[in-house]
Amino acid sequence: MNKTIMFLSIFLGFIGYGVMGIYTLSTALENIQGAKGTIWTQMQAGFDKLDTIESQLIGAYKDRKDIIQTITTARTGYSAAKEIGNLDQAARAATATANSLKILIENYPATDISTLQTSVLDETAGIFNRIAYARQQLINEQVSYNKNRIFFFIVAPWFEREGVIGEKENPMKASVKSKFA
C-alpha cells in the first residue's frame, strides 16, 4: 500500500511538473511573441516618426531656401540697380530685402539649423532608445524561456529552443528608404 501511494505521488508529481512546465513554457512563448510585437510596433512608430522628421527637415530647408532665394534675388536686384544708378529700382530691391528679412525673423524666430538638427538628433535618439529597450526586453524573455526549457526538461522536446535575436530574424533591419538618399 505504501509503495502504491508513493508510486502514485511520484506519478502525480511528474504529471503536475509536466503541466506546470507546459503552462510556463507556453506563457513564456506568448511573452516572446508580445516582445517581438513591441519591437515591430516601436520600429514602425520610429520609421513613421523618421518620415515626419524628414518631412519637417525638407520643409524647413525648403522654406529657408525660398526665403534665402528671395533675399538673394532682392540683393542681386539691388546691386544691379546700384550699378546702373536706378534709385527707384534700388529702393524696391532694398525694400524687398528688408521684407524678406522681416518674414524670416517673424516666422522663424527660433528656427536655427543647429536647433533643428539638435531636435532631430534628440527625436532620433529617442526612437532608437525605445527600439533598443524593446530588443533588450525580448532578449530577456528569450533567455527566461530557454532557462525554463532547461528546468522543465520533461516537456522540453515539445517546445523548440528560442533563438536569440538575430539568429532567425533581424527586426532592426531598415525597411524604409530615406528621402534624402
Q: Which long-range contacts (CB under 8 A, 24 or more apart) does 57-63 make?
A: 57/116, 57/120, 58/179, 60/111, 60/116, 63/108
At residue 35 the predicted structure's pLDDT band, cuts being 50, 70 and 90, is confident
Nearest alpha-carbon partner for 131 in 22, 63, 36, 6: 36
Nearest alpha-carbon partner for 57 in 6, 101, 113, 3: 113
**CA Rg value for the chain:** 32
pLDDT at 176: 44
pLDDT at residue 22 is higher than 50: yes
- Weakest-pLDDT range from 66-75, 147-156, 171-180: 171-180
Maximal CA-CA distance, the chain: 123
In one letter, which amino acid is 172? Answer: M
pLDDT at 100: 61
Q: Model confidence over 158-179: pLDDT tens digits?
A: 777 776 665 555 555 544 444 4
At residue 136 the predicted structure's pLDDT band, cuts being 50, 70 and 90, is confident
Domain architecture of the chain: domains with CATH: 20-158 (1.20.1440)
Residues 20-37 have a mean pLDDT of: 86
pLDDT at residue 147 is higher than 60: yes
Identify the residue whose cell numbers are 529700382. Answer: 89
- Weakest-pLDDT range from 12-16, 129-133, 147-151: 129-133
pLDDT at residue 13 is higher than 70: yes
Angle, helices 113-151 vs 2-84, to 10°: value is: 170
Q: Model confidence over 90-102: pLDDT tens digits?
A: 555 655 655 665 5
Question: Residue 38: enclosing H or E segment and its boundaries?
Answer: helix 2-84
Q: DSSP secondary structure string, 113-168?
A: HHHHHHHHHHHHHHHHHHHHHHHHHHHHHHHHHHHHHHHTTTTGGGSPPPPPTTSS
